[in-house]
Structure 1
Amino acid sequence: MAYCFTPEETVPQGVRRIALEQIDKAEAALTGGAQSGGRERHKAVHDARKGCKKIRALLRLARGGLGNAYVRENGFFRDAQRRLSAVRDASVMVETLDKLVGRQGSDGAGGFVQVRGVLVERCERASAEHLEQERTTEEVAGMLREVRGRVETWTLRSPGFKVLRPGLHKVYRDGARRLEALGDAPTAHDFHDWRKQAKYLSYHLRLLTPVWPGTVRALAGEFGELGSLLGDEHDLAVLCCMLEAEEQAFGGPVLVRPLAGMIDRRRSELQAASRMLGARLYLDKPKTFMTRMEAWWDLWKSEPVSRAA
């Protein structure tokens, strides 16, 4: 089924069902595509990590009813996600460079072949070390099988929107606060913290899409776009830090400094675009946002009929 609640189930039923579906998809990726090589392996690891992120977003949304189970399970899926991070992080650096130089057209792409070669070699080494030698995918798949049995025991304190209200309110409020706190001289860490809240909210809205499909789906997409802009900004910041810390390994200043300049310019563009989009998306006060979402939920539950998107 889709990554969202359905009208015929209570919130606890939906939370357990969605978690189990994502666990099964992540495990299938790790026991299938992750055993292949090259691009298929990296896609499988990406899919498994994404499944863990979606479960953590679900847990955050339902945290108001999970009690102590929230801390335990959020930590569990965070650890599973991190076990796969080394390979994914290395491949992201290659993708980030490709995306950046691709914006320059044929004139800019050829000058950074050496830099790309170093990044690719590191990606292949990370893949060998963390997926082959350490049997990481098999171990994480085992972790997912282990947690599957616990999901059925999750007990939420209310069957309705009351369970979701604290988590949804916190993620929207924290995202708005992080935007407001950026100020005139924000750091890469400031933008990264904001990105996490935007991504969680995009997942929350996807889970709530059925309450008014066209409107909430569009809003989820906008917050997803904000998360993507901020994600690109973060990846470029990490790449620049790596290049400057190991300048000689990447070909020396003659290659690194022009590339760092390109990165700075692109990061400035992404930061400006993110602020503009964020100002629109966080226009409502948290209380207003929550009042609207709860009213839509109540209407949806009172008339559980098919709605066109």
Structure 2
Amino acid sequence: MAYRINFKHPFQREVRSIASEQLAIAIDFLEEQPDGPHEAIHKARRRIKRTRALYRLCAQGAKGFARTETERLGKIAGRLAHLRDAAALTETVEYIKTEIDEPSIQMAFDKLGSVLTRRRDQMMIDEVRISDAISDAVINLQQARNALADLNLPERNTKVADCLATGWRSTGSKAMEALIDCADNQEGAAYHELRKRGQDRWMHAALLRRLWPSAMQAIRIETEALISHLGHEHDLAMLSAHLAETNDLEESHAEKDILLLAVFEQRQRLQKTCREAAELVFDDRPERDAARIRLLVREM
């Protein structure tokens, strides 16, 4: 079924079905690995994020379940994340090279990219460690899927309306808090939090697009651009931390300093773009949209 709520069907059944399908797809990716283990992990984590976003949207109607299951799925995704990091670093180097015009800096990133590619390939050889981590994830995801039998959500329109309006408004409030932190702090944590809330907003708009098609489509377009910028910022933060903590280029401290400066400057540019885009996505609209969502659900 599509990743959207059909309000013609019972609300609890819809949420269970959507979550069950997303988790089943994640399991299939990890078990079948059609494009290799790292791509399977990447795609499975996307499905886990979709499920967590669904639970956050509905949290008001099942607080204990939402809290327990979002934590469970967060731990599963976190254990898989480090297996993806090595591949993500090589992709980040390719991205930043497209943003830089200076040939000497591009050459330094080429050198770093070669080191990181060898590191990524070496990790792929460690099949036992990757296989064990994936097997554990599959077991835990199946347990999360089985736990859906314990999900109890309201069915009355008024209760469903309050549940969804609260979830929408909560995401907007958390995003605005993160945006304030971004203005005061240039470290990656605040931007990472803003990215997570942006991802939630995109997914919530997808889930509610049958309720209010034109508005949700517009929100998804605006939010997709924000998420893209924040994704690059997050990846650059990881690359900066890697450069600072390792000696991939230990024979040339000057090259390392050049790379760190280039990453820092690109992050500065991206962060400004991210703040401006977030202000458009999360203006005063979350409160206004929450009221409209409540009204539309009640009229269903």
Shift of 1:87: 1.4
Asked if 1:120 corresponds to 2:117, the answer is: yes
CA change 1:212–1:122 in 2 (3 A) is: same
What do the CA deviations read for 1:190-238 (whole angstroms, capped 9, x no partner)? 2122221111111111111111223202202322321221121121012
How many Å separate the matches in 1 of 2:190 and 2:39? 29
SS in 2 for 1:4: coil
Counterpart for residue 19 of structure 2: 19
What do the CA deviations read for 1:157-196 (whole angstroms, capped 9, x no partner)? 3442222232221111110122134335432222122221
The letter for the 2-side match of 1:208 is L
CA change 1:184–1:20 in 2 (3 A) is: closer
Shift of 1:95: 0.6
How many Å separate the matches in 2 of 1:283 and 1:72? 30
What do the CA deviations read for 1:93-150 (whole angstroms, capped 9, x no partner)? 1111111012336935443333112212332343444764652212211222223222
How many Å separate the matches in 2 of 1:60 and 1:279? 22
Indicate conservation of the 8 Å contact 1:27/1:144, yes or no: yes
Asked if 1:45 corresponds to 2:45, the answer is: no
Choose between structure 1 and 2 for higher RCO, CA contacts under 8 A separated by at least 6 residues. 2
What do the CA deviations read for 1:242-301 (whole angstroms, capped 9, x no partner)? 1122245465323222222221221111111111111212221543231133234445x2
Counterpart for residue 96 of structure 2: 100
The letter for the 2-side match of 1:55 is T
Indicate conservation of the 8 Å contact 2:164/2:293, yes or no: no
Asked if 1:67 corresponds to 2:63, the answer is: yes
Counterpart for residue 288 of structure 1: 288
Q: Which moved more, 1:163-172 or 1:102-111?
A: 102-111
CA change 1:139–1:104 in 2 (3 A) is: same
Q: How does 1:222-261 map to 2 (within 5 A)?
A: 222-247=222-247, 249=249, 251-261=251-261
Asked if 1:276 corresponds to 2:276, the answer is: yes
Q: How does 1:173-192 map to 2 (within 5 A)?
A: 173-192=173-192
How many Å separate the matches in 2 of 1:21 and 1:157? 21
CA change 1:286–1:131 in 2 (3 A) is: farther
**Unaligned 5+ runs, structure 2:** none
How many Å separate the matches in 2 of 1:83 and 1:122? 19
Q: Which moved more, 1:61-70 or 1:248-257?
A: 248-257
Percent of pairs identical after alignment?
24
Task: Report the TM-score when normalising by structure 1.
Answer: 0.87
Q: Which moved more, 1:130-139 or 1:90-99?
A: 130-139
Indicate conservation of the 8 Å contact 2:161/2:294, yes or no: yes
Indicate conservation of the 8 Å contact 1:93/1:239, yes or no: yes
**Unaligned 5+ runs, structure 1:** 302-309
SS in 2 for 1:145: helix
Match of 2:81 among 85, 103, 116: 85
Asked if 1:154 corresponds to 2:151, the answer is: yes
Task: Report the TM-score when normalising by structure 2.
Answer: 0.89
Indicate conservation of the 8 Å contact 1:240/1:260, yes or no: yes
How many Å separate the matches in 2 of 1:185 and 1:136? 35
Indicate conservation of the 8 Å contact 2:29/2:43, yes or no: yes
The letter for the 1-side match of 2:61 is G
Q: Which moved more, 1:205-214 or 1:89-98?
A: 205-214
Provide the aligned length of Structure 1 versus Structure 2. Answer: 296
